A and B are shown apart, each in its own frame.
Chain A
């Protein structure tokens, strides 16, 4: 019943990307052939130690930092955890306030939730209807108790690119005025690294998360840039690898692969951005021409070139995904039905959109193997699927007339759903 996935019809590059063959080739010798533990003093160990040092300096030269300022982790999620737990716990004496945007990845939000239980004060920054954080809002919220500000470079649902440089300026100004090294500024560049400037000097960040499998590298590896002088405590203790910041034998093949993938991404950045951006625009134009009642989620211009996130009114995203899947098309949704918590996407809700918009959101993310043919294929099958699901749906939302829930009388006991109750009670 289900067609095998065809790479050409894969529109979920924000979820993960296929490993680049060249990267795989670079990794290969480090599994069985060059297998030494970089911590060993003998030849086999020195061989791999040298290799990861090379990989480190390759990454450092791309980020414009020192090798020692980049810590390899088991995932970007771990890097986010390290950035937040690590700086929060090391600087607790200075204060307990952390500012994050409302559209952070769960790796940041859930970590902050855990810190809240430890007694930290977490401030969630609102975003405007396009998903942008206003640096002026941060300026207003900063006080001497603030130890960390974390704003995602480009969020993983709409791909909206934040003004990281402007935010960094605001924070530096505050630090200069107060004569304090705090607050630190962290950004999660997991989605952005492929298409945006990741020169940490230019960006002015103190901590930055990078993911490998979002840019055609292997899964199971990420990294955190930590500027020299930033007070941070490790999460994982043991043999003291990576300057005691992340114990555990280094994942040699993945480190090699990560460095190779990042170098390739950096090399092709301009060209690939332009190519993918053109295809995305074609898709966006096609979709808005062929399907009535859709709303764009995210900033119309300041957006990653491979992202298109739309809310298709009156339909539910998971159902649409399964119909698309039947045609071999892979995409993603912010619908509650597609999440473990049964809560709709916090990012779409943070844009001020009503609940049904999140329910009906579809995310298409393009990448290396997307062509004009892929876009045409999607444009051929999406409109009839939407039509079929709309026929089945009892809803008829009106564009622009946005209520929180369109049929309140449908809910048991006339109550609002739990996700709205929770938001209201805060």
Chain B
């Protein structure tokens, strides 16, 4: 992530002055999105479907897959999204990654990480990273949907849905989202999620998770 060359900022936030740097690839995929559907397809048209929303900013994304069962590959990847420029660009890029070169192997597609999409996009501003997180989640949801449909239960991978705080029902995934959104200290995460409000016992674990995700997304130096 550090080596990504940043282009000239196009947009400066009116209130904060923060600069948003969108790369050429982001712009190109935003203005000319690939593989999107203009209408919801009929059920029979696709083999699997995934829907995911970002609790961070309320974006909603649906993804449809055609799957080649012989080769265990993605034959087509289509999507519709309600979200900002980075969300649209990230989904578009992901759909290209999943379906290019004759389609991606399902096992490999399950392992696409947000960083992979961001790398192909030539970087995203830090606080926009959650947008691409949405894309890989939608893809995994759709592939899981395929596994379920075809009885390959052993291949289903459950997202970090383990509840850490039984009172606020905060899951590992919520902590991950908060970190991605820029909450890098326990106080920030608590402010955002209200984790541990009635169950302070979990805070030690929350701190460990913050540390883990911080390293995962931002490296050690942040």
Q: Residues of A at under 8 Å CB distance from B?
A: 1-2, 12, 15-16, 106, 314-316, 318-319, 322-323, 325-326, 332, 335-340, 342, 344, 355-356, 359, 391-395, 405-407, 409-413, 415-419, 421-422, 425
Contact = CB atoms under 8 A, between A and B. Distances in A.
Contact of A319 (B10, B27, B83, B130): B83
B53 A407 contact: yes
B31 interface: yes
Contacts of A392: 33, 36, 38, 80-81, 88
A413 B36 contact: no
B193 interface: yes
Name, among B53, B59, B161, B178, the residue most crowded by chain A CB atoms within 10 Å (CB to CB): B53
Interface stretch (B68-76, B145-153, B169-177, B213-221): B169-177
Contact of A410 (B39, B52, B88): B52
Name, among A359, A395, A413, A422, the residue most crowded by chain B CB atoms within 10 Å (CB to CB): A413
Contact of A342 (B11, B127, B174): B127
Given A15-B14, A418-B56, A418-B192, A335 B80 contact: no
B118 to A, nearest CB: 16
Nearest to A412: B173
A322 B178 CA distance: 26
Nearest to B16: A340
Nearest to A406: B60
Given A340-B13, A342-B127, A406-B60, 11 more contacts: A314-B82, A316-B87, A318-B85, A322-B30, A340-B16, A356-B82, A393-B81, A410-B51, A417-B53, A417-B58, A418-B192
Given A392-B80, A418-B192, A319 B85 contact: yes
A316 B83 contact: yes
B61 interface: yes
Contacts of B33: 392
A340 B55 contact: no
Contacts of A393: 80-82
A367 to B, nearest CB: 15
A336 B58 contact: yes
B10 A395 contact: no
B173 A342 contact: no
Given A106-B15, A319-B85, A413-B161, A359 B36 contact: no
Contact of B58 (A338, A391, A405, A409): A405
26 contacts: A106-B15, A316-B83, A319-B30, A322-B30, A322-B85, A325-B10, A342-B130, A355-B58, A391-B36, A392-B38, A392-B88, A393-B81, A394-B62, A394-B80, A395-B82, A405-B58, A406-B60, A409-B51, A412-B52, A412-B161, A413-B169, A417-B55, A418-B56, A418-B178, A419-B58, A421-B194
Contacts of A409: 51
A394 B36 CA distance: 10
A405 B60 CA distance: 10
Contacts of A106: 15
A30 to B, nearest CB: 26
B159 interface: yes
B58 A412 contact: no
A410 B60 contact: yes
- A-B complex: 6 closest residue pairs judged by Cβ atoms: A410-B53, A337-B84, A394-B80, A318-B84, A391-B38, A336-B57
Interface string B1-43: 0000000001101111010000000010011010010111000
Given A392-B33, A405-B58, A407-B51, A413 B173 contact: yes
A342 B134 CA distance: 15
Contacts of B137: 412
A417 B82 contact: no
Interface in B176-212: 177-178, 181, 192-194
Given A326-B31, A392-B38, A418 B88 contact: no
Contacts of B57: 336-337, 342, 344, 359, 417
Contacts of A394: 40, 51, 60-62, 80-82
A335 B14 CA distance: 13
Contacts of B80: 392-394
Contacts of B18: 340
Contacts of B53: 405, 407, 410-412, 417
Contacts of B192: 418
A412 B51 contact: no
Nearest to B81: A392
